[in-house]
Every structure is written in C-alpha cells, then in structure tokens.
C-alpha cells in the first residue's frame, strides 16, 4: 500500500537547539553554561523581564535570519529515503506565518524555510526527491489541520500534541507524536515515539536491505552491487558494500543523536582523517560521510579478529599508543575534543561510576537479582574501594583536572576487540569515542575490558610498556595504582547496561549481541559483573593507603 504521509516542519524535521543557543548567547540572554536545548533556553528567557516578548522575538530571528544555520533532525534523512524506496507520498505541512513577530527586517519565514530545504536537497530528484508543491504553510493551527485532511494523510508526524487535539484534525489520520505523551493534553489514539528511528519503524517497519542500499548509493555517489550486514559489532550497524566498479567499503550506520547525543560519526570520521594525514597506516581510510543519514563510508579492511593475542600483537598495540602520544604534541591535535567519558580526575571517575549506579538502581524493581547484587555485593565493595583509592590518588588531580600536557590522544575503546589481523599485521578500528584523555584510563581499560581476556604475561607486559611510555608524568604510576580498582568497578557497571531500557535493544539491533534472549543476556552480564567485583576484592590487599 502506498501511504500519504504528512510531516510537520519546525522541531520535527528541523532541529534548532544549536542555533537558539548561538543567537541567545550572542545577545546575552543566557549564560555560557546553558545546555544546547531549545526548551531549556526558552524557560530561562521566559524568566527574564519581558521574557515572553523576548522569546517570541528570538523565535522570529532564528526562524528567519538564522534559519540556514539550523540542522536536520537525526533520522529524518533515513525516513525520507525509506519513503522514496516504498513510493510513499510525503507532504510537509507547517504552521508558519509569513513574517516573525517584532521582526523589523521583514524576513519571510516561509521563504527561508524553503531555502533551507533546497540547501538540504529536499527537492533534488537524486536525493529525497520531494516536490516543491508538496510543501504547505498554514497561518493557523486550524488551517494546518484542514490541509492535512484535504491531503488525505494516512499518517501525520508532529512534535506538538495540540495539533492532534485540534477539532478539525481528521479522524482517519493516524497520529504520531515525536516526543512524550501527556495523557491530560491529548487523546489516547496518539502514538508517542522518542525519535525518528522509532517513528520510522512504526510507520514504515524495520529498515530493509533495499533501504540501506539506497542510503549507501546516495552517500557513495555510485550504484551498489551488493550490501551484506556484518554481525557481532557494538552499537552501530556495519555493512560490507561492494560497488558496481568492484570497490569495497565498510558502511557504518550510527545510533541516532536523540538516542545517544555523542557525535559518533563526526568523531570517528575526523579522527581517521587526522590519523591518515599524519601517515598512520594502521587505521582504515575515511572515504565519505553523510551527517543527515548518520552514515560513514570507510575503507574495507580484510582480516580476522585478534583472538589469543601474542607478544607480537601487543607490540603493535604499544607502538600504536606510542604514535598517538607523539601526535598529541602536534599542533593539529589541539582542535580535537575530549574522548567520550574522559576521566581527568578522581572525582570525575567516581562521579561516572555513581551515575551508572544510580541508573541501575532505578531498574531494581523489575530485577530482584540485580537489586540483590547491588545492595549486597557492589555497594559495600564500592564504598571500601572508593575510600582507599581517594587517599592513594595524587592530590593535584583528586578534584582538579589533569593538565593537557599530561593527557594523550586515545581511541577510548582501545584493544584487540577493535582490531583485525591480516598476515600478522594489525589494523585498529572503531574510533567513535576518540579524543583527549588521561592515559591511565587507556591503560586500565585495556586491562579490564571484558572482550580482551588477556593472559597474565600479556597484561604484565602491557602495564610495563605503559609505565615506560608515560614515565614523563611523575604521578602516572601512582595514579594508575589508585585508579585500577575503580576502573574495575566501573566496568562492573558498564556490563550491566543490559538492564537499562533502550541500550540493550540498540546493541542487539546493531548485531552486537549474539544472545537474542533478553533474560539470558542479563543473566550473563550479571555474572560478569560479579566476577569483576571478585577480581577487585582480591586486589584490595595490594593497595596501600599512604
């Protein structure tokens, strides 16, 4: 069946978080530390003198003069191309006046919106292929509802429940709300979705190989011969793509930014570009990316997983870290951001563990085994280890951040689990979390990561190599000694992500979990967490409080 699908524009197709933050900061309406979220910015401004008028004026400026700085909402591009593959008709119906309130420049909001769509290739037949006449602007909410009815929309997707509550909204149109549903504000026939990925799945069903092939051909700019899903990776979907000219690529589809705010695509693509420009040949080449589709194209690396690593493999890992550390002193590294969940102080590391603990505690009601583990195993051990490690930690970085001169560039998920071996040579992959960090975290994570399973000799040689490499920092050895048990307990929390809503589903959807039964997966991960705690407990006698 070919659907007629209507979609709202502002805050549904378009994300204004960044631009609202930029303009409000520029005009001195918000402090520098304000989060880049439109609703938070709105609430802050409304508290000012004449705040409501100021907010209305700001909206007119953003939707007009600064419209071209706005971003496409994560997942919209994928949805529109899926509609194209299925031959569904898409209409954009927006409640948008011609001009903004209090706008002395008389900028046409509607023309700016059309210019924005043009720049994002909405009307390009080789991309989304929407017809310009499929875009409608309404001066009132009632006019918008009437337009939806006249178009005969099977579905309408909007971020405002008030649109669906309008008395002229057509009864036969299925309502999809991009956001939380308040039962007091709207009727029970509204389907709330958290992001565009969920909206797409609800309206169109799961993405198919044809969908992915369409995305791939758009990004690559060439026809695709074949595309095959690669199972067993983490939170991103990986495909092996063969173009009709025989060239092979790795296609990576990253989690949506609404599901995970970290800019994984941009981080990884830029990291690999930086490393290849510095003549680092032990990483894949970044080929092409599309931020709207959240896709990255990379060189396809032939190789086998590095199981049972030998000393020769370890030498290559050490050499890679040494190369990263030397690049940390290059001027080009200054523009690189912090690694994901970087830990530059004892306080930051402790806070990260306690935040993970807080989130897991919230799930205990449905999982008595988890509740028992946290209350009787993890928390007593955590209190003991936290106190010992705090006193062992060098005073300078207990609360204060490690100076940049002692930091290093880090993949932040480094190890043989993210490596491929071909004819004895290792290529390191997965740089979604790349950036600046304390080398102690890199060292500890390599030893603690559940996928590594290093033998005692390899572990000892790794630690020895890192102590030598970072010996220029007189506190490195002491900091590592103090941090090791904390990182062990941090990993005990990480492996329990299976208990958190949404996270385990995304990993299984990406093919990163071979166990498809959620209960079995949670039992396995709980067993891992218990073993982490046992290992940390056994290490306590080796810790000495100064």
Give the pLDDT confidence score for residue 511 in this predicted structure. Answer: 55
Q: Which of 248-257, 324-333, 402-411 has the lowest mean pLDDT?
A: 248-257
The residue-averaged pLDDT of 258-277 equals 88
Identify the CATH homologous superfamily for domain 4-204. HAD superfamily/HAD-like (3.40.50.1000)
Question: What's the pLDDT at 490?
Answer: 98
- pLDDT, residue 546, reads 43
- Of the candidate ranges 141-150, 227-236, 356-365, the one whose mean pLDDT is the lowest: 227-236
Res. 136: pLDDT tops 50: yes
Is the per-residue pLDDT at 25 higher than 80? yes
Residue 509 pLDDT > 80: no
Out of 58-72, 266-280, 526-540, pick the least confident. 58-72
| Residues in Cβ contact with 102 at an 8 Å cutoff, skipping those fewer than 6 apart | 53, 56, 57, 60
Helices 346-361, 476-494: axis angle to 10 degrees equals 10
Q: What is the pLDDT of residue 542?
A: 86
| Structure token digits, residue 328 | 């940390």
So what's the pLDDT on residue 255? 78
Q: What is the pLDDT of residue 332?
A: 87
Least confident window among 53-67, 81-95, 111-125: 53-67
pLDDT greater than 70 at residue 545? no
Residue 503 has pLDDT above 90, yes or no: no
Interval 106-131 mean pLDDT:
94
pLDDT higher than threshold 90 for residue 380: yes
Would the pLDDT of 259 be above 70?
no
Task: Reply yes or no on whether the pLDDT at 243 is more than 70.
Answer: yes
pTM score: 0.82
Alpha helices in 337-438 (DSSP H): 346-361, 368-373, 379-392
Residue 341 Rama label (left phi>0; alpha psi -120 to 50; beta): left
Least confident of 96-105, 120-129, 430-439: 96-105
Length of the chain: 546
pLDDT category at 396 given cuts 50, 70, 90 is: very high
Q: How far apart are CA 111 and CA 114, in angstroms?
A: 5
Predicted pLDDT of residue 233: 60
| Topology alike, domains 4-204 and 305-544 | no
Topology (CATH level 3) of domain 305-544:
Aminoglycoside 3'-phosphotransferase; Chain: A, domain 2 (3.90.1200)
The residues, any chain, with a CB within 8 Å of residue 199's CB and separated by 6 or more, are 75, 79, 157, 176, 178, 193
> What mean pLDDT do residues 201-225 have?
86
pLDDT on residue 143: 98
What is the structure's pLDDT at 120? 95
Any idea which of 297-301, 355-359, 363-367 has the lowest mean pLDDT?
Answer: 363-367
How confident is the prediction for the chain on average, in pLDDT? Answer: 91
pLDDT digits (tens, 9 = 90+) for 142-193: 999 999 999 999 999 999 999 999 999 999 999 999 987 665 554 568 999 9
Contact criterion met (CB below 8 Å) for 188 and 197: no
The pLDDT, as a whole number, for residue 494 is: 97
What's the first-to-final CA gap in the chain, in angstroms? 72
Q: How much is the pLDDT for 234?
A: 62
Which CATH code fits 209-299?
3.30.200.20
Instruction: Check pLDDT > 60 for residue 240.
Output: yes
CA 22, 26, 32, 37 torsion-angle sign: negative
Residue whose pair of structure tokens reads 């191309």 in the numeric block: 81
User: Is 508 a residue whose pLDDT tops 90?
Assistant: no
Calpha distance 277→279 (Å, rounded): 5
Cα 336 from Cα 408, distance rounded (Å): 11
The whole-number average pLDDT for the span 381-391 is 97
Residue 364 clears pLDDT 80, i.e. is over it:
yes
Whether the pLDDT of residue 395 is over 70: the answer is yes
The residues spanned by each domain of the chain are 4-204, 209-299, 305-544
> Residue 198: which residues within 8 A CB-CB, separation 6 or more?
none
């Amino acid at each position: 069946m070919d659907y007629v699908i209507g979609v709202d524009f502002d805050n549904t197709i378009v994300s204004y978080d960044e631009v609202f933050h930029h303009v409000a900061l520029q005009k001195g309406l918000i402090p520098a530390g304000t989060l880049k979220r439109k609703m938070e910015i709105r609430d802050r401004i409304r508290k000012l003198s004449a705040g409501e008028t100021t907010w209305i004026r700001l909206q007119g400026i953003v939707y007009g003069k600064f419209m071209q700085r706005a971003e496409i909402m994560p997942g919209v591009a994928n949805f529109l191309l899926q509609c194209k593959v299925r031959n569904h008709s898409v209409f954009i119906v927006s409640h948008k006046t011609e001009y903004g309130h209090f706008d002395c420049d008389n900028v046409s909001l509607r023309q700016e919106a059309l210019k924005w769509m043009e720049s994002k290739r909405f009307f390009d037949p080789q991309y989304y292929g929407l017809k310009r006449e499929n875009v409608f602007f309404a001066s009132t909410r009632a006019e918008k509802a009437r337009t939806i009815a006249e178009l005969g929309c099977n579905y309408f997707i909007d971020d405002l429940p008030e649109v669906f509550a309008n008395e002229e909204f057509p009864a036969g149109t299925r309502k999809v709300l991009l956001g939380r549903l308040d039962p007091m504000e709207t009727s029970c026939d509204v389907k709330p979705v958290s992001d565009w990925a969920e909206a797409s799945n609800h309206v169109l069903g799961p993405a198919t190989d044809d969908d992915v092939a369409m995305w791939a051909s758009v990004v690559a700019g060439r026809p695709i011969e074949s595309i095959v899903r690669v199972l067993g990776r983490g939170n991103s979907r990986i495909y092996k793509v063969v173009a009709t000219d025989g060239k092979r690529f790795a296609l990576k589809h990253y989690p949506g930014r609404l599901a995970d705010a970290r800019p994984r695509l941009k981080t990884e693509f830029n990291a690999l570009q930086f490393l290849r420009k510095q003549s680092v040949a032990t990483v894949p080449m970044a080929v092409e990316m599309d931020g709207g589709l959240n896709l990255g194209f990379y060189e396809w690396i032939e190789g086998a997983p590095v199981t049972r690593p030998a000393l020769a493999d370890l030498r290559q890992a050490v050499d890679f870290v040494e190369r990263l550390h030397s690049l940390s002193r290059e001027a080009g590294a200054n523009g690189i951001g912090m690694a994901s969940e970087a830990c530059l102080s004892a306080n930051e590391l402790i806070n990260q563990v306690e935040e993970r603990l807080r989130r897991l505690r919230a799930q205990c009601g449905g999982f008595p085994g988890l509740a028992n583990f946290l209350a009787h195993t993890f928390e007593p051990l955590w209190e003991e280890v936290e106190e010992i490690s705090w006193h062992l930690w060098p005073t300078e970085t207990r609360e204060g951040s490690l100076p940049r001169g002692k930091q290093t560039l880090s993949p932040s998920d480094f190890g043989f689990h993210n490596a491929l071996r071909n004819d004895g040579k290792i290529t390191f992959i997965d740089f979604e979390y790349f950036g600046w960090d304390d080398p102690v975290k890199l060292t500890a994570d390599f030893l603690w990561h559940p996928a590594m399973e290093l033998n005692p000799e390899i572990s000892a040689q790794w630690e020895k190599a890192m102590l030598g490499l970072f010996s220029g920092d007189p506190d490195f050895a002491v900091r590592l000694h103090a941090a090791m048990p904390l990182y062990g307990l941090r990993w005990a929390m990480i492996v329990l992500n299976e208990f958190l809503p949404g996270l385990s589903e995304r990993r299984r959807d990406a093919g990163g979990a071979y166990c498809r039964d959620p209960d079995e997966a949670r039992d396995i991960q709980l067993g891992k967490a218990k073993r982490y705690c046992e290992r940390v407990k056994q290490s306590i006698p080796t810790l000495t409080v100064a």
